[in-house]
């Protein structure tokens, strides 16, 4: 992969001067290497964040313009977090991505973005609004049929004036609709006034990763319009890391006008537990199964910050028991990106992605936990893949799975991500 | 250790190196010595401007023409060391209108191509130039890498005639007998050992020190004025071309781009003592204040370093005073009137005219040796060596990146100099030697030249040198300390803004982590003062 | 999304997340004072891990730091440490070392005399308190134990040979070995941080231990660059000693290094769990000194936040951390605009020789405080009754050359917290 000769060479220093705040310009870089030491993409394709900056300063623009490394940097912003000068390499990487000729960009990311542009769903997996409505209806019908406790459950779509607008990652409707059921159950359990939208319901946003600003904007605009149109008060982002970031960042970047607040589902899990609406505890964990937690950088470091990390821990510890919870290190705002983000999973650069993920794998192994909890689909897939690749024997689970398990409402066919040790625990009577 | 050669050349600046090669091209083997290293005098402390002559056109037509001719020759024979980026002369509001009006004609008189430009057009192509600009001319100025020039000349002389360069060898006296120098008494400034060098001819190319060296031979006919100049290096290339202020030369009125940086200078102050030449904050401020009139961005750019050099300006008999008014011309002294038949001194001049200076000297020395070969430096291209491109900013980085060999660790991150470059310098650079000082490696590569000014790479390169066995004891720490102290001399006057955190980190590392303030220059536990 | 600034009220705002800031946070929590702390990455990540109290006086090493502290006032009038009684310094220093130990990085408590600790150059420096993972090194040097120093393929800037060569005269039983670190032995650059994280995995420890055992020979002790875990160094260290079978110690390395990272990560993670409200990715950008409180403003992804604090401790460090800024015309305190004591002009900031044992005059510049460590205005009056300062930003010291960084940060934080406690009625 390389940029064609014809395409323009980027003047990275000029771009840095334009895009980075004065105190955090490349000019203030001390060349200390903290960023590189803490970046999982270091060493891939001979580059790392410090080198990226040094090469920009040395004017090696042709090299930087064409290096595939920019597709291995997940734009996780850990470099800025550890840098005493707060220098953010991801901004330049984003710019470089945007300058790559479309046909040279990793096809998987471009394809996903294109798919999102096709219908009002904004779904990267090509699920149309009609399909979505049908799949949800069918799945809800099955649920009502299978589980008498939820015989009357409603899964509203396009409910005008609902308090919450909840988005949905396409993976479930497209590939594993039964995985939506735990979420609906718990929303029902707390009595939330919520709705999906037939338009703008999808969570993922690969247009941001492909560096296509116009498409990113179009995507976020459609979603904002959809929520505005339904008059919802709060947009709740499901267990998906980057979709939260792309929305608020998109709103800020493109000056959009949402008439609603945005929140992460995690924040509400914590709130509902605190309020007693989700009366979960760890009584089910009689075997003392150990859990760790992956803080999605898109949600924690890049968006809400440690407040989200606190909520995640509160929820996780309540669910599995304080003594069964082991943090991976580093964590919270300092967590390493797993290597699934930034479109890496879709980019078709498997070896590099595995190399990137080695740190994550070591982190997980060090905890000796059996399960990793994470509220992010990309994190989820990447960590599972790392387990296969490096021979780890942990599993990755969504929060909704465990919440329903703890509530005793997790059906037998909603346990895809649980191991044999948990197939029978807390089954509904 | 003692040495013999046809000719001993004293002074490893651009002139001495030029003479070494000039002679080698005539088949004459020389030994070149420097009390420091290559370019430790003015040749390592100048602006790197290959003058078109425009700068002198208004005051000294002869020097201007000489610059023009020599510049053209060098562009042909040593293009690898030259960036023919072109130059501008720009005046701003308030500058002397008469000077501006006369400029084009004066250039024409010296044969210099000088084209008037529309001010707005200039500002479009060079946005860094002040909006207060009122007049502009284009001239064929260029920039030159003096390190590359000296290194390649020494290497070529070795190839041609097995000529030799000896670093840290200082001449301390001459044995004179019967109107001839019989031997030069020298001292190894690193080890303190004495050396005797015997030659048939002796050439003094010691730049600002040429007066002192001539006196060692009992000659009092060389009189040079010491004019100290200070320059500052900005972290950015602000302009594509050289930008000169169109006025009577003054402080901070030339900005010379060099690869990825810009050099602003210079000041000009007569000094009485050659041994305490260091740039001062006051001189830096003067450069910036004047420079930012022409290039406003200079007022808030990150500067990474300042440095100073001493111009050896020849004093006409009876002349005194201002360095800028003294002649930029050069003189070759044959010292015959002083009773010596095998000694010559070449003094004055410019970097731009070094070749001509070497030619004149070579002619005299060759004639004295009975060698009838003509000078060939005006036509014979200087072979470009891959390894001297190590001094070119970005070169190491580019090569390293293309090679894709992750095991070749980067030792200097600022300039991206890998282990292999350091190894190659140690193995084959001119003047390479066992226990090569970090400073000498720095002269032959980009080590220590980036924004961190050696604070990290010194540690990494030193560890590497211990690993290779280049250093085997505390002296390695002493050499690291010496390298850092030398870098500090240059950073000290520019310590503000982003350079201050860098310096603070450097001090905490070098003292707190390495303990270098607890040892002396030889690496031994320091005597408490 | 929020046009209205969010407000946080607190007893004390601690501005700065360096050693001084975190020490202040520890002391506040000890005394039940509600604290909000904010800051960003800074000098802390670069430290060697050694806690210096007072190690040198003009290049001369100090054996008894307590006596030297008692005499400090005579040679350094106004030195922050000279303004504190021994009991305060001792109490603060011990309490902080103990607190860090409780959090997971044990320190050998400061003793009556200084110890000689190892530097990567093969020199020793005088310090007071060292992490347990490095303790066996000081002992090995003192007892001249037969020791093998191990370094790793791909680790640049640390050479076991350099260490061994330069200690040779002092320490005859030293030898070196160069080995590959598991999975990082292909020759590419290997960062200490990556090795340290990998060593938190049991299997990696076992593999590395086997490789080390192969080169131990008859040595009684093994020295390594500091890579024994980031998060749980004590555990990793103990496990490695057990696996290798001889005492092991770490030697600090150049940045990017592990010891500072350990402290930063540990404190940022463990302190909130103990009740600190920590804002770890933001610097204060605005201050409003009000009669009864001090407001600090910053901006996060969701808009403006204002911390309304009854009192505040300014621990923003020096140039590297951004507490002070150097301009061509002079030095400035960046947040509040406090007067900065400084040499007359830029020409006087530094000495000609960078390694001059007297240190540079600029190192002594900083914020001037009263005996309660309240910053003073140009008339010598406290700028605000509730505003205190601590750490490297203080005038009148040269922590780099004196080797008193940690001592200064911790002891002055204690005194500042004394003032905060008084103001908060605790
Ligand atoms: C600030 C400044 C800016 C300049 N800018 C330009 C420019 O832009 N363009 C241009 O064309 N010219 C410029 N010049 C002039 C140019 O740099 C000099 O004319 C040229 O470098 C002189 O070279 P040299 O070899 O004659 O002397 P030097 O480079 O000074 O070499 C003399 C050498 O002799 C050695 N030496 C001294 N004593 C002894 C001894 N006893 N034994 C052994 N060795 C000894 C010294 O160590 C030194 O290395 C500038 C000069 C200065 C100072
Ligand atoms: C290379 C190196 C080696 C060292 N080695 C040792 C050693 O061996 N022994 C030893 O005892 N000490 C050592 N230290 C020193 C020690 O770690 C501390 O850095 C020092 O004591 C100063 O502590 P401090 O908390 O006052 O300031 P700093 O550590 O500089 O912390 C200041 C903090 O303030 C924050 N800040 C700045 N402005 C704002 C703002 N506007 N709002 C909010 N926050 C802000 C910064 O982000 C930073 O977190 C070393 C330091 C370095 C750099
Ligand atoms: S951490 Fe920051 S200052 Fe250090 S090298 Fe990276 S970008 Fe530069
Ligand atoms: S954004 Fe993340 S992956 Fe990219 S350079 Fe920074 S730390 Fe590395
Ligand atoms: S996949 Fe997960 S860890 Fe990785 S970028 Fe997304 S949120 Fe970050």
A69 vs A153: CA distance, rounded Å: 48
C293 vs C36: CA distance, rounded Å: 14
> Would the CA dihedral through B222, B227, B232, B237 be positive or negative?
negative
Which two tokens mark C408?
């200064």
Beta strands in C43-143 (DSSP E): 56-57, 60-61, 115-118, 124-127
pLDDT at residue B324 greater than cutoff 60: no
Nearest to A58 among B393, B404, B456 (CB): B393
Q: Among C127, C60, C164, which residue's Cα sits nearest to residue B474?
A: C164
Candidate of A12, A29, A68, A73 to mutate for ligand 4, largest count of ligand atoms within 8 Å of Cβ: A73
How far is ligand 4, taken at its centre, from the CA of residue A82, in Å?
11
pLDDT at residue A47 greater than cutoff 80: yes
- Give the helix ranges, DSSP H, for A262-349: 265-274, 306-320
B99 vs B103: CA distance, rounded Å: 6
The mean pLDDT value for B491-503 works out to 95
B157 lines ligand 1 (CB under 6 A): no
- Which 56-115 residues of chain C touch chain B by CB within 8 A? 56, 58-61
- pLDDT at res. A26: 85
pLDDT at residue B155 greater than cutoff 80: yes
User: Same domain for C305 and C387?
Assistant: yes
Residue whose token pair is 């007359």:
C344
Residue whose token pair is 């057990």:
C242
Which two tokens mark B53?
């002559």
How far is ligand 4, taken at its centre, from the CA of residue B362, in Å?
58
User: Same domain for C201 and C94?
Assistant: no
The mean pLDDT value for B2-10 works out to 91
Q: Select from C219, C235, C253 the last residue of a domain.
A: C253
How far is ligand 1, taken at its centre, from the CA of residue B207, in Å?
5
A89 vs A84: CA distance, rounded Å: 13
User: Same domain for C343 and C389?
Assistant: yes
CB contact under 8 A, B485 and C161: no
Search chain C and give the residue with CA nearest A305.
Answer: C281
CB B499 within 8 A of CB B452: no
Task: Please give the tally of structural domains in chain C.
Answer: 2
C68 vs C128: CA distance, rounded Å: 13
Residue range C181-210, pLDDT digits in tens: 999 999 999 999 999 999 999 999 999 999
CB A31 within 8 A of CB B450: yes
Residue B303 Cα distances to A1, A389, B170, B322, B520, angstroms: 38, 49, 34, 28, 30
Q: How far is C371 from chain A (nearest CA, A)?
A: 31
- pLDDT at res. A7: 52
User: Same domain for C156 and C202?
Assistant: yes
Report the atom number in ligand 3 closest to the C-alpha of A28.
Answer: 3
Q: Among C183, C131, C192, C126, which residue's Cα sits nearest to residue C157?
A: C192
A74 vs B487: CA distance, rounded Å: 37
β-sheet bridge partners, residue B180: B177
How far is ligand 5, taken at its centre, from the CA of residue B149, in Å?
52
Q: How far is C417 from chain A (nearest CA, A)?
A: 26
The mean pLDDT value for B150-163 works out to 96
Residues of C in contact with B497 (CB under 8 A): 325-328
* Protein residue with its CA nearest to atom 4 in ligand 4: A73
Neighbours of chain B (3+ CB pairs under 8 A): A, C
Which two tokens mark C320?
């590297």
Question: Which strands make up the sheet holding C248-251, listed edge to edge?
Answer: C174-179, C147-152, C221-225, C248-251
Neighbours of chain C (3+ CB pairs under 8 A): A, B
Long-range pairs for C336-339: beta carbons < 8 A, 24 or more residues apart: C336/C287, C336/C289, C336/C375, C336/C383, C336/C387, C338/C314, C338/C367, C338/C375, C338/C377, C338/C383, C338/C389, C339/C367, C339/C368, C339/C376, C339/C377, C339/C378
The mean pLDDT value for B180-199 works out to 95
Report the atom number in ligand 1 closest to the C-alpha of B231.
Answer: 1
How far is ligand 4, taken at its centre, from the CA of residue C389, in Å?
35
CATH number of the domain within which C329 lies: 3.50.50.60
- pLDDT at res. A274: 97
- pLDDT at res. C302: 85
pLDDT band at B309; cut points 50, 70, 90: very high
User: Same domain for C100 and C133?
Assistant: no
SS3 C286: strand
A37 vs A45: CA distance, rounded Å: 16
- pLDDT at res. C3: 65
Output the average pLDDT for chain A.
Answer: 94
- Residues constituting chain C: 426
Ligand closest to CA A372: 5
Output the average pLDDT for chain B.
Answer: 93
pLDDT at residue A299 greater than cutoff 90: yes
The mean pLDDT value for B419-445 works out to 91
- pLDDT at res. B144: 96
Q: Among B428, B427, B429, B426, which residue's Cα sits nearest to residue B438?
A: B426
B220 vs B337: CA distance, rounded Å: 10
User: Same domain for C241 and C273?
Assistant: no
B480 lines ligand 1 (CB under 6 A): no
- C327 lies within 8 A of chain A by CB: no
Search chain A and give the residue with CA nearest C262.
Answer: A330
Q: How far is C2 from chain A (nearest CA, A)?
A: 9
CB contact under 8 A, A33 and B406: no
- A14 lies within 8 A of chain B by CB: no
- Which 268-327 residues of chain B touch chain C by CB within 8 A? 278, 280-282, 285, 288
How far is ligand 1, taken at its centre, from the CA of residue C305, in Å?
59
User: Same domain for C154 and C68?
Assistant: no
Residues of A in contact with B237 (CB under 8 A): 59
C243 vs A52: CA distance, rounded Å: 40
Note whether residue C42 is domain-resident: yes
- Give the helix ranges, DSSP H, for B162-267: 210-216
- pLDDT at res. B328: 63
Note whether residue C112 is domain-resident: no
Q: How far is A27 from chain B (nearest CA, A)?
A: 7
Nearest to A59 among B394, B410, B413 (CB): B394
- pLDDT at res. A293: 98
Note whether residue C96 is domain-resident: yes
pLDDT at residue A347 greater than cutoff 70: yes
pLDDT, greater one: C336 or C104: C336
Q: What is the DSSP string of C173-207?
A: TEEEEEEPPTT--SSS---HHHHHHHTTSHHHHHH
Residue range C42-54, pLDDT digits in tens: 999 999 999 999 9
A93 vs C195: CA distance, rounded Å: 27
Could you tell me the domains of chain B?
2-42+147-223+327-369 (3.50.50.60), 82-142+225-312 (3.30.9.10), 386-518 (no CATH)
Residue whose token pair is 């879709």:
A346
- Kind of pairing, strands C147-152 and C56-57? unpaired
Q: Select from C201, C218, C253 the last residue of a domain.
A: C253
Output the average pLDDT for chain C.
Answer: 96
List all residues whose CB is within 6 A of at least one atom of ligand 3.
A 29-35, 49-50, 53, 83, 85, 87
CB B516 within 8 A of CB C122: no
CB contact under 8 A, C193 and A363: no
CATH number of the domain within which C165 lies: 3.40.50
Note whether residue C110 is domain-resident: no
Long-range pairs for A278-282: beta carbons < 8 A, 24 or more residues apart: A278/A186, A278/A189, A278/A190, A278/A403, A278/A407, A279/A407, A280/A318, A280/A319, A280/A403, A280/A406, A280/A407, A281/A318, A281/A319, A281/A406, A282/A318, A282/A319, A282/A320, A282/A321, A282/A324, A282/A406
pLDDT band at B325; cut points 50, 70, 90: low
For residue C357, give every residue at least 6 positions away whose Cβ sits within 8 Å of its Cβ, in sequence order, or none. B517, B526, B528, B529, C58, C59, C401
pLDDT, greater one: B258 or B136: B136
Note whether residue C81 is domain-resident: yes
Backbone angles phi, psi at B196, to 5 degrees: -115, 130
User: Same domain for C274 and C381?
Assistant: yes
pLDDT band at B314; cut points 50, 70, 90: confident
User: Same domain for C93 and C137?
Assistant: no
User: Same domain for C53 and C163?
Assistant: no
The mean pLDDT value for C150-175 works out to 96
The rounded percent of chain C whose pLDDT value lies above 90 is 94
For residue A221, give every residue at least 6 positions away whose Cβ sits within 8 Å of its Cβ, in sequence order, or none. A254, A256
How far is ligand 5, taken at its centre, from the CA of residue A77, in Å?
11
pLDDT band at A230; cut points 50, 70, 90: very high
A26 vs B218: CA distance, rounded Å: 56
To probe the interface with B, which of C50, C354, C402, C406 has the most B CB atoms within 10 Å? Answer: C354
CB contact under 8 A, C165 and B488: no
DSSP state of A71: G
Q: Select from C201, C219, C253 the last residue of a domain.
A: C253
* Protein residue with its CA nearest to atom 1 in ligand 5: A341
Residue range A255-288, pLDDT digits in tens: 999 999 999 999 999 999 999 999 999 999 999 9
β-sheet bridge partners, residue A234: A164, A261
User: Same domain for C284 and C333?
Assistant: yes
B257 vs A307: CA distance, rounded Å: 49
The mean pLDDT value for B269-287 works out to 92
User: What's the start-to-end Cα distance of chain B, in Å?
Assistant: 36
User: Same domain for C16 and C66?
Assistant: yes
B40 lines ligand 1 (CB under 6 A): yes
CB A29 within 8 A of CB A53: yes
pLDDT band at A417; cut points 50, 70, 90: very high
Q: How far is C38 from chain A (nearest CA, A)?
A: 12
pLDDT band at A16; cut points 50, 70, 90: confident
* Containing structural domain, residue C158: 121-253
Could you tell me the domains of chain A?
12-104 (no CATH), 109-267 (no CATH), 270-422 (3.40.50)
Nearest to C255 among A34, A81, A310 (CB): A34
- A111 lies within 8 A of chain B by CB: no
Search chain C and give the residue with CA nearest A260.
Answer: C1
- pLDDT at res. C15: 98
- Its ipTM equals 0.97
pLDDT at residue B442 greater than cutoff 80: yes
C123 vs B518: CA distance, rounded Å: 9
- pLDDT at res. B529: 40
The mean pLDDT value for A420-426 works out to 94
A89 vs A216: CA distance, rounded Å: 20
């Amino acid at each position: 992969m390389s940029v064609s000769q014809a395409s323009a060479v980027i003047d990275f220093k000029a771009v840095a001067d334009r895009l980075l705040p004065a105190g955090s310009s490349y000019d203030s870089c001390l060349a200390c290497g903290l960023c590189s030491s803490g970046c999982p993409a270091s060493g891939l394709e001979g580059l790392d964040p410090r080198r990226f900056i040094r090469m920009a300063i040395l004017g090696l623009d042709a090299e930087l313009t064409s290096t595939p490394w920019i597709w291995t940097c997940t734009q996780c912003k850990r470099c800025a977090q550890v840098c005493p000068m707060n220098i953010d390499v991801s901004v330049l990487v984003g710019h470089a991505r945007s300058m790559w000729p479309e046909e040279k960009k990793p096809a998987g990311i471009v394809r996903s973005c294109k798919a999102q542009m096709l219908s009002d769903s904004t779904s990267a997996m090509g699920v149309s609004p009609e399909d979505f409505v049908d799949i949800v209806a069918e799945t809800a019908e099955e649920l009502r049929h299978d589980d008498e406790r939820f015989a009357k459950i409603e899964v509203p779509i396009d409910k005008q004036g609902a308090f919450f607008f909840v988005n949905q990652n396409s993976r479930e409707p497209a590939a594993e609709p039964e995985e939506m059921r735990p979420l609906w159950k718990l929303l029902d359990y707390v009595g939330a006034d919520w709705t999906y939208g037939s338009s703008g319901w999808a969570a993922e946003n690969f247009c941001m990763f492909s560096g296509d600003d116009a498409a990113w904007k179009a995507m976020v605009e459609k979603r904002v319009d959809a929520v505005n149109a339904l008059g919802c008060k709060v947009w709740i982002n499901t267990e998906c890391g980057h979709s939260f970031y792309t929305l608020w960042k998109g709103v800020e970047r493109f000056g959009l006008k949402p008439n609603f607040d945005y929140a992460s589902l995690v924040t509400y899990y914590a709130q509902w537990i605190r309020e007693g609406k989700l009366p979960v505890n760890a009584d089910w964990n009689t075997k003392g199964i150990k859990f760790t937690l992956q803080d999605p950088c898109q949600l924690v470091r890049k968006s809400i910050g440690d407040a989200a990390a606190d909520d995640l821990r509160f929820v996780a510890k309540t669910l599995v028991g304080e003594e069964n919870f082991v943090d991976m290190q580093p964590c919270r705002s300092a967590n390493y990106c797993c290597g699934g983000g930034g479109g890496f999973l879709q980019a078709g650069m498997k070896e590099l992605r595995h190399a990137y993920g080695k740190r994550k794998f070591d982190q997980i192994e060090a905890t000796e936990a059996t399960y990793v909890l994470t509220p992010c689909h990309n994190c989820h897939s990447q960590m599972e893949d790392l387990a296969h690749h490096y021979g780890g024997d942990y599993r990755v689970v969504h929060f909704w799975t465990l919440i329903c398990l703890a509530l005793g409402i997790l059906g037998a066919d909603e346990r895809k991500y649980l191991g044999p040790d948990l197939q029978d625990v807390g089954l509904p009577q | 250790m003692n040495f013999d050669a046809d000719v001993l050349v004293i002074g490893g600046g651009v002139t001495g190196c030029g003479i070494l090669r000039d002679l080698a091209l005539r088949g004459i083997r020389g030994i070149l010595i420097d009390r420091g290293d290559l370019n430790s005098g003015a040749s390592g402390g100048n602006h790197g401007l290959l003058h078109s002559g425009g700068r002198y056109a208004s005051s000294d037509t002869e020097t201007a023409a000489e610059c023009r001719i020599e510049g053209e020759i060098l562009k042909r024979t040593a293009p690898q060391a030259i960036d023919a980026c072109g130059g501008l002369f720009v005046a701003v509001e308030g500058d002397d209108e008469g000077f501006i009006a006369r400029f084009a004609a004066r250039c024409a008189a010296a044969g210099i191509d000088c084209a008037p430009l529309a001010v707005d057009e200039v500002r479009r192509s060079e946005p860094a130039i002040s909006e207060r600009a009122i007049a502009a001319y284009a001239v064929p100025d260029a920039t030159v890498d003096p390190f590359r020039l000296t290194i390649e000349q020494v290497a070529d002389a070795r190839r041609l005639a097995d000529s030799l360069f000896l670093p840290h060898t200082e001449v301390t006296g001459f044995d004179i007998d019967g109107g001839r120098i019989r031997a030069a008494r020298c001292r190894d400034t690193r080890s303190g050992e004495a050396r005797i060098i015997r030659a048939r001819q002796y050439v003094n190319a010691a730049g600002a020190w040429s007066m002192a060296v001539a006196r060692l031979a009992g000659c009092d006919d060389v009189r040079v004025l010491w004019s100290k100049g200070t320059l500052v290096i900005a972290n950015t290339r602000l302009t594509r071309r050289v930008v000169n202020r169109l006025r009577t030369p003054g402080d901070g009125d030339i900005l010379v781009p060099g690869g990825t940086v810009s050099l602003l200078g210079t000041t000009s102050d007569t000094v009485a003592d050659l041994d305490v030449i260091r740039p001062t904050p006051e001189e830096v401020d003067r450069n910036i204040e004047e420079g930012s009139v022409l290039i406003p961005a200079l007022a808030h750019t990150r500067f990474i370093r300042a440095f100073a050099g001493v111009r050896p300006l020849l004093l006409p008999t009876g002349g005194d005073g201002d360095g800028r008014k003294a002649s930029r011309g050069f003189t070759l002294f044959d010292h015959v009137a002083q009773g010596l038949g095998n000694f010559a001194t070449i003094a004055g001049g410019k970097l731009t005219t070094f070749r001509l200076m070497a030619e004149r000297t070579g002619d005299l020395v060759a004639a004295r040796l009975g060698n009838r070969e003509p000078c060939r430096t005006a036509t014979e291209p200087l072979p470009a060596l891959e390894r001297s491109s190590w001094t070119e900013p970005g070169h190491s980085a580019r090569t390293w990146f293309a090679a894709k060999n992750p095991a070749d660790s980067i030792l200097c991150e600022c300039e991206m100099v890998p282990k292999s470059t350091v190894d190659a310098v140690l193995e084959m650079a001119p003047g390479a030697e066992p226990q090569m000082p970090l400073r000498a490696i720095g002269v032959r590569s980009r080590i220590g030249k980036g924004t961190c000014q050696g604070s990290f790479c010194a540690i990494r390169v030193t560890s590497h040198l211990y690993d290779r066995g280049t250093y085997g004891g505390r002296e390695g720490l002493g050499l690291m300390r010496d390298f850092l102290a030398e870098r500090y001399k240059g950073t000290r006057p520019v310590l503000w803004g982003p350079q201050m955190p860098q310096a603070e980190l450097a001090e905490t590392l070098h003292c707190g982590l390495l303990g270098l303030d607890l040892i002396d220059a030889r690496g031994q536990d320091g005597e408490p003062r | 999304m929020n046009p209205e600034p969010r407000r946080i009220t607190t007893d004390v705002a601690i501005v700065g997340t360096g050693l001084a800031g975190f020490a202040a946070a520890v002391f506040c929590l000890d005394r039940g004072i509600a604290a909000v702390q904010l800051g960003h990455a800074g000098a802390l990540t670069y430290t060697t891990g050694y806690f210096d109290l007072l190690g040198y006086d003009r290049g001369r090493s100090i054996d008894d730091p307590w006596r030297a502290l008692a005499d400090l006032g005579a040679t350094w009038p106004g030195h922050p440490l000279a303004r504190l009684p021994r009991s305060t310094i001792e109490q603060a220093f011990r309490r902080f070392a103990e607190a860090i130990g409780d959090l997971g990085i044990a320190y050998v408590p400061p003793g009556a005399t200084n110890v000689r600790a190892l530097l990567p150059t093969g020199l020793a420096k005088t310090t007071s308190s060292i992490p347990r993972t490095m303790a066996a090194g000081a002992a090995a040097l003192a007892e001249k134990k037969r020791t093998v120093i191990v370094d790793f393929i791909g680790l640049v800037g640390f050479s076991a040979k350099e260490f061994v060569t330069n200690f040779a005269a002092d320490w005859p039983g030293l030898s070196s070995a160069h080995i590959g670190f598991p999975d990082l032995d292909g020759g590419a650059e290997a960062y200490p941080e990556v090795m340290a994280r990998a060593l938190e995995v049991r299997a990696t420890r076992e593999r590395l231990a086997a490789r080390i055992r192969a080169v131990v020979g008859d040595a009684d002790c093994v020295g390594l660059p500091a890579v024994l875990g980031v998060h749980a160094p004590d555990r990793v260290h103990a496990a490695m000693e057990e696996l290798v079978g001889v005492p092991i110690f770490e030697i600090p390395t150049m940045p990017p290094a592990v010891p500072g990272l350990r402290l930063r990560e540990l404190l940022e993670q463990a302190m909130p769990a103990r009740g600190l409200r920590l804002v770890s990715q933001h610097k204060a950008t605005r201050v409003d000194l009000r009669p009864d409180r001090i407001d600090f403003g910053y901006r996060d992804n969701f808009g403006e936040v204002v911390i309304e604090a009854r009192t505040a401790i300014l621990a923003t460090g020096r140039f590297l951390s951004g507490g002070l800024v150097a301009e061509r015309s002079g030095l400035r305190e960046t947040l509040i605009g406090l007067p900065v004591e400084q040499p007359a002009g830029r020409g006087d900031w530094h000495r000609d020789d960078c390694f001059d044992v007297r240190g540079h005059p600029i190192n002594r510049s900083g914020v001037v405080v009263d005996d309660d460590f309240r910053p003073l205005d140009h008339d010598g009056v406290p700028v605000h009754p509730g505003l205190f300062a601590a750490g490297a930003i203080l005038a009148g010291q040269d922590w780099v050359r004196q080797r008193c960084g940690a001592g200064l940060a911790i002891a002055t934080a204690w005194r500042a917290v004394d003032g905060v406690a008084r103001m908060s009625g605790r």
